[in-house]
C-alpha cells in the first residue's frame, strides 16, 4: 500500500452515495406529520405596509398557521451581526440587520412579510395567494451615486443617510508617490451584481421531539455550529437540546454562509410552537431575490508609475452596494480593498470605500467575495498603463511582481480576518512565465495576424491574481480508531461538494497508515462535533485539514505507545502500516489497529494513573493569519465581430496553492471556479429596473454557463508551501473565479483592437449586446 | 379533488390518490419516496429532475403525475448501487465528474439515454447533449471526460 496519501489523485469516498441517489439532502428529509411553509414576499423594493389581511388564508382547508411580524412578539428581533468590523481607525460602520418578517416597511423585493404553514406546500402557496397586503409604494434607493445625494430617500429612516460604512486605509505616502510619478493613469470601473445559484436552493426542516425535549434542524447552511448556537439562544434552549445537521449540500458558494436568514429563524420556532415538523424549501424564484447576492461596485482609481512602468502608488475610491441590510459587515469591501494590491509590489496605497444601503437584495460573500473587483481594477489599470508607456502587458506585470525573496510581504492594511494583510509566501514570476508559455504568448501575434487575414478576430488575455485563503479563527477535528480498525474523523464544518470526505481522510490516513477508504468522515452534524466556524474563505483544506492532521498525529502517538506496551518494546522499533503495527523486521509480530483500540479501552483490570481511554484525539488549528495563494490565467478568445459572440479557443490556469492534498479534487475546484468566473464575466447579469424590480429571476433568463460555454482548460500548478500550517497548503476554492472578468476584458480588447479605437472595456458583466454597445458608442 | 394514479417506477407499480396538479417530480420524491431525483428550478431549465419516461429523458418538473399514468418511469435509483455502480456512474467517480452531486442524477439519466443511442460520441456531441443540464460546480470538463470514458468502456465490453 502507498504510505503517502497526501498528494494522490484519489477518487472520492462520498461519490457512491451521491451517484446512486442515496445521499441525504435537506429536501429528502421526510417526517411523519410534517407541515410545509411558504412565504408571502414583498413585491416592492420599498413600501410602507398599511395593512395585512390573513383571514381568508387562515380559513383555507389545510392551513395550520399564518404568521405576521406582530404575531412573533418578542421573538421578532433583527438578526445578529455575523461579522463585526475589524478595528480600523476612523471608520464609520452602521449596522442594520435583516428581520424575520417585515414590520411597517419592506426594504427589498423578496423580503418575507407573512409565513404560512399548511399540510402541503401546494396548500401553503394557495394560502399565500389569499393574503391581502395593502402597501404604499415609496421611492426606492437603487443607484449607488443617487443614494449619496442629500435628497435621496433613505433605506433606513433612522439613519442620517444611506452610508452603511465609510472606511479609509493607507499604506506608505501616496501623495509623495504621486508627486514623483512620470505617469498617472485614471480610470473608472463598474462591476455589477451576480447570483451564486447553486443547483440546490436553500431549505430547512425542523423537528421538535417533545419527549426528548430536543430540536433537530436540517439546514442547507455552510455553518451548522453557529446556527445551532444561535438557535439555542434565540429559542431559550440549551445548546445540547439543539442538533443542527448540514447534510449533503447542493452547492454553497458563500450565500449559504449567511445567517440568520429569516426562514432559519422562523421554521424552527414554528416547529416548536406547533409541535410538528416543518419544512421549507426555497423555490428558484425566491432564490433570486431572497438569497444574498454579490458584486455592485464603482471604482475611481489612479495609478502612479515611474518612467519604466514600476508602480509608485495607487489611489482608489469605491462605492459598494450592500443591499438593504449588512449582516456580513465589511467582508466583501475589505476583500476588494485589500486584494486590489494583487501580486504586485505597491509602495503606497490610499483607499477609501463607502458601503451603501440600497433597496435591493442583501450582499454577502459569493465565491471570490469581492476579490474579483480588486483584481479587475488593478489588472485593467496595468493594461492601460502598458499602453501609455508602450510596454508589453506581460512585461509591465513582470516588472511589478513581488520578488520571491520579499516574503513574508507586508501590505500594512487590515484584512477581513482582522489581521494585518501579509502575504506569507509566494513565487510569482514562474507562475506568469508558465502561463505565457502554455498559452503560446510569444507566437500569438503571428497567430492573430493570420486569423485576421481570414476575417477572424482573435484576442489573448493574461492576468495575475492572488487569493487570501485559509483564514481563522479556527477549526477542530476529532479522530478515533474504532474497534473494527476503521477510523472516524469528525469536524464541525459543512460540506458542499469540496470532497471533504476524501481529502480530510487522506490527511488522516497518511498519519495512521490505513486505507483512505477506511476513514469515515462526518461533517456538519453538531451532535457529532460542535466546535468550529464553517466552510468559507477557501479555508477547509487549510484550517480543518490542519486540525485533522494534528488530531491524527496525536492518535498515531497513542497507537505507537499502546503497541509498544503490548510488545514490550521501544516505539522506535515499531512500524505502523496497512492498518496494523508490527515490529520492524519481524512482520509476523503484528497487531491490528482494531485490537489496539480494544486494548486502549479495557473492559476489566486496572489502568495506570492518568490513562485516557481510547485511540482518540481532538485537535484544533487556528492560523495567525490567512495563507495567500496566487495564480495566472491566460486565454485566447475569438469574437464574432458581427454578433459579439465569444468562443474561447484556449484556456490556461496556473495556480499555486502550496501543498496539493488531492490534485483531482483541486482541478475540479479550479475548473468549477473558472466556469463561474466565465458566467460572471459574460453571461450572468441581474437586470434590475430603476424601481428595484428584478427582471430576469429565472434560469431561463439569467444565463448560467452550459457545457457549450465553458472550454476545456489546461490546469497547471506551481507549489510554494505556506509556512503557516503543518500541511503547507493554501486554499483553492475561489481562485478559479477571481481573475476571469479582467481576463475577458483584456482579451476582448485585444480581439477587437478596441484601444486603437479609443475604447476600453471597463465593466463586468458583459454580454453580446452590451459589448456591441461598448464598441459602437454612438449607437 | 383527487385522482387515483398508477405509475410504473423502476419496474414497481406505484398507486396513489393525488391532486391533478401534483408534479411528477413531487410524486417521485414525496409520494414514491425516491429522493434521488432532485429539483433545481421547477421551470424546466436546469435538468436536475430529469428522469426517463418510456425511455426518453424528460424533466419531471414539467409534467403532472397524472399525465404519466400508465407510463414507465425510470429514476437514478434504477441504475447501479453503491457497491455495483453502473458503467456511467463508475466513470463519473473515476473522472471526478461530480462535486456537490445535486445535478448528477439528472445528468446520469440524460447521458444514459444518450449513450444508448450514441455509443461512440465525440466531445462536441457530448457537450451538446449535456447542454440542457446545468452544473454549477464542475465546469463540465470532468463530466464530459466521464461520459467519454463510459462510452469507451461500454464499447469495449459490448
pLDDT in tens, A533-547: 888 878 888 999 999
Q: Report whether A155 contacts A138 (CB < 8 A).
A: no
**Same domain, yes or no, for B33 and B73?**
yes
The residue of chain B nearest to residue A704, with distances taken between CA atoms, is B134
Instruction: Show which of B78, B107, B127 is a domain's final residue.
Output: B78
Name the residue facing A11 among B93, B104, B130 (closest C-beta).
Answer: B93
Query: Is the minimum CB–CB distance between B117 and chain A shorter than 8 Å?
Result: no
Report d(CA A544, CA A621) in Å as an integer: 7
Q: Quick check: A449 pLDDT over 70? A: yes
**Same domain, yes or no, for A245 and A281?**
yes
In a domain, A184, yes or no: yes
**Same domain, yes or no, for A261 and A124?**
yes
**Same domain, yes or no, for A307 and A284?**
no
pLDDT in tens, A212-231: 999 999 999 999 999 999 99
Place of cell 410534517: A34
| Residue A714 neighbours by CB under 8 Å, 6+ apart | A438, A650, A651, A652, A653
Query: Quick one: average pLDDT of A5-18?
Result: 97
Name the residue facing A22 among B36, B39, B46 (closest C-beta).
Answer: B36
Q: Are B89 and A253 within 8 A, CB to CB? A: no
Mean pLDDT over each residue of chain A, to the nearest integer:
96
Query: Is the minimum CB–CB distance between B143 and chain A shorter than 8 Å?
Result: yes
Question: Residue A108 has what pLDDT?
Answer: 98
Query: Is the minimum CB–CB distance between B76 and chain A shorter than 8 Å?
Result: yes
Name the residue facing A25 among B38, B41, B144 (closest C-beta).
Answer: B38
Q: Which residues of A touch B98 (CB under 8 A)?
A: 15, 18-19, 497
Query: Quick one: average pLDDT of B66-84?
Result: 97
* Cis status of the peptide bond prior to A473, with omega within 30 of 0: yes
Q: How many domains does chain B have?
A: 2
Q: Which residues of B touch A12 (CB under 8 A)?
A: 93, 96
Query: Quick one: average pLDDT of A678-688?
Result: 95
Query: Is the minimum CB–CB distance between B62 and chain A shorter than 8 Å?
Result: no
Q: Which of helix, strand or coil describes residue A132?
A: strand
In the numeric block, which cell numbers belong to residue A647?
Answer: 468562443
Q: Which residues of B touch A672 (CB under 8 A)?
A: 99, 136-139
Q: Which of helix, strand or coil describes residue B140?
A: coil
For testing the chain A interface, which of B1, B88, B139 should be mutated: the one with the most A CBs within 10 Å? Answer: B139
**Same domain, yes or no, for B69 and B7?**
yes
* pTM assigned to the model: 0.97
**Same domain, yes or no, for A674 and A779?**
yes
In a domain, A524, yes or no: yes
Question: Residue A779 has what pLDDT?
Answer: 64
Name the residue facing A675 among B39, B79, B139 (closest C-beta).
Answer: B139
Query: Is the minimum CB–CB distance between B108 and chain A shorter than 8 Å?
Result: yes
The residue of chain B nearest to residue A31, with distances taken between CA atoms, is B30
Query: Is the minimum CB–CB distance between B141 and chain A shorter than 8 Å?
Result: yes
In a domain, A408, yes or no: no
For testing the chain A interface, which of B64, B101, B121, B124 should be mutated: the one with the most A CBs within 10 Å? Answer: B101
In a domain, A254, yes or no: yes
Domain holding A132: CATH number? 3.90.1170.50
pLDDT in tens, A402-436: 999 999 999 999 988 888 899 999 999 999 999 99
Report d(CA A212, CA A205) in Å as an integer: 18
The residue of chain B nearest to residue A709, with distances taken between CA atoms, is B131
Question: Residue A232 has what pLDDT?
Answer: 97
Question: Residue A649 has what pLDDT?
Answer: 98
**Same domain, yes or no, for B61 and B108?**
no
In the numeric block, which cell numbers belong to residue A583?
Answer: 515490529
**Same domain, yes or no, for A205 and A281?**
yes
Q: Are B96 and A30 within 8 A, CB to CB? A: no
Domain holding A587: CATH number? 3.30.365.10
Q: Are A18 and B104 within 8 A, CB to CB? A: yes
- Which spans in A516-580 are helix H? 545-567
In a domain, A3, yes or no: no
Query: Quick one: average pLDDT of A594-612?
Result: 90
Which has the closest alpha carbon to A646: A685, A612, A679, A670? A679
**Same domain, yes or no, for B34 and B57?**
yes
**A7: how many CB neighbours lie within 10 A of its CB?**
15
Instruction: Show which of B23, B58, B78 is a domain's final residue.
Output: B78
Q: Which residues of B touch A200 (CB under 8 A)?
A: 38, 40, 100, 102
**Same domain, yes or no, for A240 and A110?**
yes
pLDDT in tens, A283-299: 999 999 999 998 799 99
Report d(CA A742, CA A465) in Å as an integer: 10
Q: Quick check: A2 pLDDT over 60? A: no
Q: Quick check: A686 pLDDT over 60? A: yes
Distance from CA of A279 to the nearest CA of B (A): 13
Domain that residue B12 falls in: 3-78
In a domain, A5, yes or no: no
**Same domain, yes or no, for B70 and B126?**
no
Q: Are B100 and A708 within 8 A, CB to CB? A: no
**Same domain, yes or no, for B93 and B73?**
no
Report d(CA A616, CA A487) in Å as an integer: 10
Which residue(s) pair with A423 in the sheet? A409
Instruction: Show which of A234, A256, A290 is a domain's final residue.
Output: A290
In a domain, A409, yes or no: no
A409-414 and A420-423: which strand pairing? antiparallel
Sheet of A63-67: strand order equals A63-67, A112-118, A35-41, A278-281, A203-209, A214-219, A242-245
**Same domain, yes or no, for A522 and A569?**
yes
Name the residue facing A672 among B37, B75, B138 (closest C-beta).
Answer: B138
Q: Report whether A641 contacts A451 (CB < 8 A).
A: no
Query: Is the minimum CB–CB distance between B79 and chain A shorter than 8 Å?
Result: yes
**Same domain, yes or no, for B106 and B141?**
yes
Domain holding B147: CATH number? 1.10.150.120
Could you give the maximum distance between any two Cα atoms of chain B, in Å?
53
Can you list the positions of beta strands (E) in chain B?
Answer: 3-9, 12-18, 50-53, 56-59, 72-74
**A613: how many CB neighbours lie within 10 A of its CB?**
10
Q: Are B134 and A21 within 8 A, CB to CB? A: no
**Same domain, yes or no, for A249 and A100?**
yes
The per-residue DSSP string of A706-750 comes to -TTTSPP-EEEE-----TTSTT-B---SSGGGTTHHHHHHHHHHH
In the numeric block, which cell numbers belong to residue A57?
Answer: 388564508
**Same domain, yes or no, for B71 and B16?**
yes
pLDDT in tens, A82-97: 888 999 999 999 999 9
The residue of chain B nearest to residue A705, with distances taken between CA atoms, is B134
Question: Residue A1 has what pLDDT?
Answer: 44
In a domain, A410, yes or no: no
Q: How many domains does chain A have?
A: 4
Instruction: Show which of B78, B101, B116 is a domain's final residue.
Output: B78
Domain holding B14: CATH number? 3.10.20.30
Q: Report whether A500 contacts A516 (CB < 8 A).
A: no
ipTM, 2 dp: 0.98
**Same domain, yes or no, for B107 and B139?**
yes
**Same domain, yes or no, for A231 and A366?**
no
Comparing A648 with A605, the larger pLDDT belongs to: A648
**Same domain, yes or no, for A437 and A364?**
no
Which has the closest alpha carbon to A459: A632, A634, A631? A634
pLDDT in tens, A48-86: 999 999 999 999 999 999 999 999 999 999 999 988 899
**Same domain, yes or no, for B49 and B68?**
yes
Domain that residue A486 falls in: 15-22+472-621
Name the residue facing B137 among A248, A251, A708 (closest C-beta).
Answer: A251
Report d(CA A98, CA A482) in Å as an integer: 45
**Same domain, yes or no, for A100 and A159?**
no
Query: Quick one: average pLDDT of A241-268?
Result: 96
**Same domain, yes or no, for A660 and A762?**
yes
Q: Report whether A225 contacts A534 (CB < 8 A).
A: yes
The per-residue DSSP string of A509-526 comes to HHHHT--GGGEEEEESBT
Amino acid at each position: 500500500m502507498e504510505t503517502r496519501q497526501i498528494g494522490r489523485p484519489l477518487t472520492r469516498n462520498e461519490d457512491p452515495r451521491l451517484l446512486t441517489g442515496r445521499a441525504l439532502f435537506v429536501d429528502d428529509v421526510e417526517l411523519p406529520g410534517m407541515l410545509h411553509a411558504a412565504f408571502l414576499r414583498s413585491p416592492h423594493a420599498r413600501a410602507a405596509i398599511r395593512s395585512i389581511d390573513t383571514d381568508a388564508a387562515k380559513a383555507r382547508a389545510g392551513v395550520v398557521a399564518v404568521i405576521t411580524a406582530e404575531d412573533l412578539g418578542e421573538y421578532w428581533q433583527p438578526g445578529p451581526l455575523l461579522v463585526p468590523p475589524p478595528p480600523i481607525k476612523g471608520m464609520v460602520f452602521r449596522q442594520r440587520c435583516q428581520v424575520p418578517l417585515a414590520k411597517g416597511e419592506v426594504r427589498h423585493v423578496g423580503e418575507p412579510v407573512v409565513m404560512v404553514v399548511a399540510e402541503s406546500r401546494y396548500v401553503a402557496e394557495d394560502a399565500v395567494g389569499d393574503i391581502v397586503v395593502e402597501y404604499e409604494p415609496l421611492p426606492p434607493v437603487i443607484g449607488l451615486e443617487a443614494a449619496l445625494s442629500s435628497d435621496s430617500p433613505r433605506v433606513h429612516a433612522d439613519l442620517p443617510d444611506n452610508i452603511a460604512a465609510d472606511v479609509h486605509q493607507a499604506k506608505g505616502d501616496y501623495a509623495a508617490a504621486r508627486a514623483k510619478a512620470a505617469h498617472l493613469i485614471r480610470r473608472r470601473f463598474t462591476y455589477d451584481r451576480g447570483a451564486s445559484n447553486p443547483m440546490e436552493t436553500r431549505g430547512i426542516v425542523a423537528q421538535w421531539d417533545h419527549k426528548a425535549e430536543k430540536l433537530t434542524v436540517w439546514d442547507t447552511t455552510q455553518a451548522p455550529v453557529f446556527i445551532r448556537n444561535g438557535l439555542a439562544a434565540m429559542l431559550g434552549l440549551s445548546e445540547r437540546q439543539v442538533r443542527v445537521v448540514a447534510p449533503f449540500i447542493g452547492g454553497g458558494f458563500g450565500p449559504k454562509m449567511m445567517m440568520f436568514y429569516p426562514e432559519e429563524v422562523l421554521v424552527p420556532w414554528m416547529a416548536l410552537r406547533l409541535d410538528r415538523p416543518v419544512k421549507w424549501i426555497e423555490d428558484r424564484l425566491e432564490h433570486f431575490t431572497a438569497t444574498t447576492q454579490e458584486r455592485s461596485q464603482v471604482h475611481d482609481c489612479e495609478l502612479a508609475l515611474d518612467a519604466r512602468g514600476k508602480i509608485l502608488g495607487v489611489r482608489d475610491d469605491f462605492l459598494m452596494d450592500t443591499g438593504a441590510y449588512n449582516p456580513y459587515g465589511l467582508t466583501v469591501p475589505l476583500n476588494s480593498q485589500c486584494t486590489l494590491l494583487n501580486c504586485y509590489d505597491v509602495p503606497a496605497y490610499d483607499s477609501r470605500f463607502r458601503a451603501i444601503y440600497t433597496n435591493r437584495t442583501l450582499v454577502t460573500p459569493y465565491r471570490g467575495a469581492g476579490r474579483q473587483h480588486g483584481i479587475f481594477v488593478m489588472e485593467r489599470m496595468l493594461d492601460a498603463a502598458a499602453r501609455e508607456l508602450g510596454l508589453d502587458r506581460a512585461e509591465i506585470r513582470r516588472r511589478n511582481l513581488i520578488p520571491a525573496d520579499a516574503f513574508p510581504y507586508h501590505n500594512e492594511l487590515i484584512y477581513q480576518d482582522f489581521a494585518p494583510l501579509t502575504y506569507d509566501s509566494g513565487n510569482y514570476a514562474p507562475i506568469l512565465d508558465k502561463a505565457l508559455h502554455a498559452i503560446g504568448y510569444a507566437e500569438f501575434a503571428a497567430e492573430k495576424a493570420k486569423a485576421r487575414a481570414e476575417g477572424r478576430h482573435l484576442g489573448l488575455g493574461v492576468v495575475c491574481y492572488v487569493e487570501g485563503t485559509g483564514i481563522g479563527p479556527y477549526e477542530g477535528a476529532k479522530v478515533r480508531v474504532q474497534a473494527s480498525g476503521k477510523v472516524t474523523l469528525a469536524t464541525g464544518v459543512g460540506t458542499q461538494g469540496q470532497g471533504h470526505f476524501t481529502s480530510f481522510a487522506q490527511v488522516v490516513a497518511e498519519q495512521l497508515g490505513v486505507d483512505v477508504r477506511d476513514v469515515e468522515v462526518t461533517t456538519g452534524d453538531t451532535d457529532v462535533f460542535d466546535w468550529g466556524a464553517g466552510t468559507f474563505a477557501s479555508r477547509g483544506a487549510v484550517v480543518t485539514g490542519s486540525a485533522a492532521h494534528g488530531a491524527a498525529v496525536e492518535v498515531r502517538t497513542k497507537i505507537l505507545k499502546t503497541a509498544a506496551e503490548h510488545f514490550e518494546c521501544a516505539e522506535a522499533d515499531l512500524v505502523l502500516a496497512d492498518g496494523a503495527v508490527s515490529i520492524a523486521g519481524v512482520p509476523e509480530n503484528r497487531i491490528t489497529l482494531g485490537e489496539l483500540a480494544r486494548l486502549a479501552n479495557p473492559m476489566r483490570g486496572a489502568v495506570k494513573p492518568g490513562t485516557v481511554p481510547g485511540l482518540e484525539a481532538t485537535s484544533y488549528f487556528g492560523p495567525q493569519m490567512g495563507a495567500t495563494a496566487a495564480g495566472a490565467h491566460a486565454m485566447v478568445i475569438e469574437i464574432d465581430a458581427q454578433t459579439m459572440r465569444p468562443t474561447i479557443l484556449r484556456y490556461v490556469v496556473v495556480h499555486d496553492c502550496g501543498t496539493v492534498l488531492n490534485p483531482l479534487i483541486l482541478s475540479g475546484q479550479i475548473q468549477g471556479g473558472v466556469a463561474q468566473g466565465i458566467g460572471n464575466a459574460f453571461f450572468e447579469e441581474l437586470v434590475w429596473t430603476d424601481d428595484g424590480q428584478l427582471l430576469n429571476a429565472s434560469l431561463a433568463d439569467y444565463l448560467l454557463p452550459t457545457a457549450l460555454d465553458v472550454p476545456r482548460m489546461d490546469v497547471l500548478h506551481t507549489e510554494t508551501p505556506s509556512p503557516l500550517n503543518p500541511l503547507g497548503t493554501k486554499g483553492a476554492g475561489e481562485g478559479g473565479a477571481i481573475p476571469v472578468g479582467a481576463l475577458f476584458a483584456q482579451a476582448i480588447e485585444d480581439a477587437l483592437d478596441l484601444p486603437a479605437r479609443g475604447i476600453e472595456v471597463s465593466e463586468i458583466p458583459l454580454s453580446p449586446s452590451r459589448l456591441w454597445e461598448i464598441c459602437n458608442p454612438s449607437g | 379533488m383527487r385522482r387515483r394514479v398508477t405509475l410504473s417506477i423502476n419496474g414497481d407499480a406505484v398507486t396513489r390518490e393525488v391532486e391533478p396538479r401534483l408534479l411528477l417530480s413531487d410524486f417521485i420524491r414525496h409520494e414514491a419516496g425516491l429522493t434521488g431525483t432532485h429539483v433545481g428550478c421547477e421551470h424546466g431549465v436546469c435538468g436536475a429532475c430529469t428522469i426517463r419516461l418510456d425511455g426518453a429523458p424528460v424533466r419531471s418538473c414539467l409534467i403532472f403525475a397524472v399525465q404519466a399514468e400508465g407510463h414507465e418511469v425510470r429514476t437514478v435509483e434504477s441504475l447501479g448501487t453503491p457497491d455495483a455502480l453502473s458503467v456511467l456512474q463508475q466513470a463519473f467517480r473515476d473522472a471526478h465528474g461530480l462535486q456537490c452531486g445535486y445535478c448528477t442524477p439528472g445528468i446520469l439519466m440524460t447521458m444514459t439515454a444518450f449513450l444508448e443511442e450514441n455509443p461512440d460520441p465525440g466531445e462536441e456531441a457530448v457537450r451538446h447533449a449535456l447542454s440542457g443540464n446545468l452544473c454549477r460546480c464542475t465546469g463540465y470538463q470532468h463530466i464530459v471526460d466521464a461520459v467519454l470514458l463510459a462510452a469507451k468502456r461500454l464499447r469495449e465490453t459490448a
